[in-house]
Structure 1
Amino acid sequence: MEKLNKVSLCAGVLVSLLTICAAVDTIAANQTLKDGDTIVSAGDNFELGFFSPNNSNNRYLGIWYKRISTGTIVWVSNKENPIRNTSGVFKLSSDGRLLVLSGGDTVIWESKSAYSSRVYPVAQLLDTGNLVVRDESSIDQENIIWQSRPSNDICVRYGLCGPYGTCSNNNSPACSCLQGFETKRPQEWFILDWSGGCRRIMSLDCNYGEAFNKISGMKLPDTRLNSWYNVSMTIGECEMACKRNCSCTAYASLDINSGCLAWFGDLEDMRENSGGRDLYVKISASRLTDSQSYKPMNKKVIKVVLSTSVSFLVVCLIVALYTWRKKKRSSILIRKG
């Protein structure tokens, strides 16, 4: 009897362990996921949990590549409403809604769902990086209540190219460094992990001189990270303010033609956008290209230079001719004498 009890106990523990392992990618209705806990897709490719971007204390619920140690984010739920501390909780309600809560009961973000009373919902992180809410009895696409809009637009992934990196769907690879910057970890970029971003080729030196590289058609960097604005400044005043502050890394107009928006840290989450804005990134003045530093000479200056050069040549010819004739006359007199 005692042996039977031990067998039953072992079987129960084994079943419990198997249940836990099987549910590592799933959240059941009314189950909560606290800040610091995560779920992982079955193939160990993606992970879901709370995270903070570089140089920020804000917390977001997101999905990232688990195999990349630095965490390339592919989806963010509460992008417009960050949590200011680690009190965040993620849960699935019994009516099929995903909820991000702060401080216990304050709803920060929620999903919409086509709920049916006949459905018993579970949330599952698939190995494609897609988070789905489905009926726990089926994984058919027809029974998916909600899912997180995988897109062919790779640049929608938050911070894909890391600090000072910019993304373009028209380029291969999609990520590249801004002018004046280079990849921080080239080996990782080779395997398409761009999350390490870029670094300055030449560091800034306020005492030496700095300039701004104008980049047109850009989605501006994340303004939630170390940014500042002033609605009354002109774009010229904005440039001077950024130039005087050693910590300022870039600026742009707040609106199309007025105001000042400045950044004071790494520039994150940038992408090329045909309808985008002009961004002025601070770099060392010596890193400007010849085409940027070259300024055509004034026409009056060109005329003065040309006229001076011609006059100098004429004078040289006259002097040379006079010297030649004088030498020739001297030689004739010597022969006659």
Structure 2
Amino acid sequence: MTAAEVRRAFLEFFRERNHEIVASSSLVPANDPTLLFTNAGMNQFKDVFTGLEQRPYKRATSSQKCVRAGGKHNDLDEVGKTPRHHTFFEMLGNFSFGDYFKEDAITWAWELLTKVYQIDASRMCVTIFGGDPSLDGVSPDDEARAIWKRVTGFSDDRVIGLGAKDNFWQMGDTGPMGPCTEIHYFMDGKPSAWPTQDPASWKGWLEIWNNVFMQFERRIAGGPLFPLPAPSVDTGAGLERVTSVVQGVKSNYDTDLFTGILKLAAELSGKQYGADVDADTSMRVIADHARCSAFLIADGVFPDKTGREYVLRRIFRRAVRHGGKLLGIKQPFMHEVCARV
């Protein structure tokens, strides 16, 4: 499947289950001064989750363009060095606003991954919220554990309970939040053992899906948690990651989302992608930053000296530096790479 087919299959799967397909919102968040950029699929639904906004549907699905390059969610310095980090990415999501909850969310996630995408179930495990002293009054998610075991046939050791750092999701210091359950895929063939609470045991495992069960809202930073009007579901599945698994490649940059852009970067530099570690890093930086720049500019953000405009300026300048100083590209090139996006 191409990345476009992965995206289309996701949206169609949930449309067939009575979800409204909602277009991606702008990368510039509307009416939310706490966010520099849209960084998750649920951003545009924040007021729906908290009950401040009503929409004519209770179920939605989207492929949301996101940027994480400033503030708390900042991946900029890692981009190009790893197979997964990006400034710009797409987040596939399905959302329930007080409609279905854990049972359907988990069942549909497993069905889509194993039946539609045909991902090998023997290479997957899941995590749930196992409790945390920092969240007084929030119990371990034994309900999600029981559902996973029933839906998948997993034994207890394939349903790993982790703390708040890994399995309690929050958009920011305030707003909707709740326990989450993640699906992980082993990238290096058949796993010889299942991971545990030991971080070292997670080598080779890739998170490909996150179901957040929105049950709480924090109204002021550091304040108490309030129950939401109706428990809801917020799913996040990175298009780039899911596509890498479906296409059987080790790096997001080896998917068809990036290969065409990397080919152009290689042509412009006169180098071969895959022949030199440092040059490969620079080409990945250019590919990622061209995608980010193109989509930010399309949403009305232009390089400048303050705020989100300054972040774009840094991103664009970093790509130019990697192309000019590190790859030896003499002529202006970013307009060509952005056009390839």
Rg: which structure is higher?
Answer: 1
Which structure has greater helix proportion? 2
TM interval, short-chain normalised? under 0.3
Which structure has greater strand proportion? 1
